[in-house]
Amino acid sequence: MNFEFDADTEEMCAMVVAFAQRELAGRGEAASSTLDVGDFRRRWQLAGEQGLVGGAVPVDYGGSGLDAVASSAVMEALGYGSGDAGFAFSIAAHLFASLMPIVEFGTEEQKREWLPALCSGERIAAHGITEPEAGSDALNLRTRAVRKGDEYVLQGGKCFTTNAPVADVFVVQAATEPNGGFFGLTAFIVEAGTPGLSVGPVYDKVGLRGSPTSDVHFDGCVVPARQMLGAEGMGASVFSASMKWERVCLFAIYLGAMRRVLESTVGYAGDREQFGSPIGDFQAVSHRVVDMTLRLECARLLLYKAAWGLARGSQDEIAPALAKLAVSEAAVQLGLDAIQVRGGLGVVEGEAATFLRDALPSRVFSGTSEIQKNNIARALGLGKNRRPHRRH
């Protein structure tokens, strides 16, 4: 086993940290519902020039051809260098939930048409499956796509769509066969500005405030059949594939952010004096910091193990779910611990408070912690909808 990155990956990560510290540090707080679209696009363009928004896309279509391990390393570096986990989250949602489905399920023509501008930073993508009545039960969505000749007509709406307020391209799921379950959904690439597509106001979220989120509405939105992604009825497969990328590589952002907050917490515990000595001398404090370290290192190992499997085409469902679960739960606990070590200063606006707010949504998006546990239990042969028991 080799726990080191290769020299190219190390070099790339150092560049990404420097870029993020220069362009993205301390930007998240002002964002949210007061989104400055011009500034967001300016930073997006810069991230594109760094190869960040299309890293995992093959070189032939404008990306850098990074595998899941290198992609995770880059995301970890982005999370470490950014004060704004929201902007990093927007990049990851664009890349892993929107571009990778086009890479894996798109025709050659679709890849050449859509991917280069989405990799260069010129255009931004969003992925929409969640609806008000279909969150964890995502396949039970109500947005319909009805075929009329060479076109589909979309009717319905999405909620919680990351990047929707700034997106040029949407990868959306709609029911081509209502109540058709796994084979009832179909994915489409829809361009912003298509008549019948509209976007709602930007949400005011508790965390990831630098990542704009809104509803998307489809009212008689006509999409050419050539913009269908994969075949009709393959939407759920497209979604599952994108979640595999997202549950691993996107969550590496949190590893980097955790490392940054842990380092500053160690620094604080060494500097802050009470009762005549640094608070880090008190075992209650130093053991808390050790627990933070332990959680980060355990989560990191699980994430890179899952990334390693993904890079080798593993179909294992447990590793990505464990990685997502471990990173998100570790992040929230690390945020709470970082605040506790800082005492009163922890609850004043600052790095620890921002990190905890950014960590909270991580237990919800890409499938909640409870849904990850359901998935793991099912893969183990337990729980509702369990697989048939294997008899020996």
Ligand X SMILES: Cc1cc2nc3c(=O)[nH]c(=O)nc-3n(C[C@H](O)[C@H](O)[C@H](O)COP(=O)(O)OP(=O)(O)OC[C@H]3O[C@@H](n4cnc5c(N)ncnc54)[C@H](O)[C@@H]3O)c2cc1C
- Residues of this chain that interact with ligand X (CB under 6 A) are 93, 127-130, 135-136, 160-162, 208, 213, 361, 364-365, 367-368, 370-371, 374
Q: Nearer Cβ to ligand X, position 246 or 337? A: 246
How far is it, in rounded angstroms, from Cα 89 to Cα 32? 13
Q: Which is nearer to ligand X, 175 or 279 (CB)?
A: 175
- Taking the complex as a whole, the smallest distance from the CB of residue 374 to ligand X amounts, in Å, to 5
Q: How far is the CB of 337 from ligand X (least distance, A)?
A: 22
Instruction: State the Cα–Cα distance between residues 190 and 168, nearest whole angstrom.
Output: 9
Calculate ∠ Cα 24-256-285, nearest 5°.
115
Has 246 been annotated as catalytic?
A: yes
Residues whose CB is less than 8 angstroms from the CB of residue 39 and which lie 6 or more positions away in sequence, other chains included:
none
* Strand partners for 162: 213
State which residue has the least CB distance to ligand X.
Answer: 135
Q: In whole angstroms, what is the distance from residue 252 CA to residue 209 CA? A: 18
Question: Nearest approach, Cβ of 205 to ligand X (angstroms)?
Answer: 6
CB of 392 to ligand X, least distance (A): 30
Angle between helices 7-23 and 68-81 (to 10 degrees): 30
Encoded amino acid at 305, one letter:
K
* Residue with smaller CB distance to ligand X, 53 or 73: 53
Torsion angle of the four alpha carbons 96, 99, 101, 107, in this order, in degrees rounded to the nearest 10? -160
Rounded least distance, CB 327 to ligand X, Å? 15
**Contact call for residues 333 and 360 (beta carbons, < 8 A):** no
Q: At its nearest, how many Å lie between ligand X and the CB of residue 262?
A: 23
CB of 320 to ligand X, least distance (A): 15
Residue 245 phi/psi, 5-degree rounding, is -65, -45
- Residue 142 φ then ψ, to 5°: -110, -15
> Which residue, 318 or 360, is less far from ligand X as judged by CB?
360
Q: Looking at beta carbons, which pairs linking 331-334 to residues 24 or more positions away fall under 8 Å?
A: 331/254, 331/257, 331/258, 331/299, 331/355, 331/359, 331/362, 332/356, 332/359, 332/360, 332/362, 332/363, 333/292, 333/295, 334/258, 334/261, 334/262, 334/292, 334/295, 334/296, 334/359
Nearer to ligand X, 140 or 293 (CB): 140
Using the minimum distance from each CB to ligand X, give the nearer residue, 70 or 257. Answer: 257
- 303 within 8 A of 251, measured Cβ to Cβ: yes
> Exposed/middle/buried for 220, CB within 10 Å: 0-12, 13-18, 19+?
exposed
Query: Given the complex with ligand X, which of 100 and 292 has the nearer CB atom?
Result: 100
- Name the catalytic one among 246, 263, 317, 349: 246
- Enumerate the β-bridge partners of residue 156: 218
Active site residues per annotation: 246
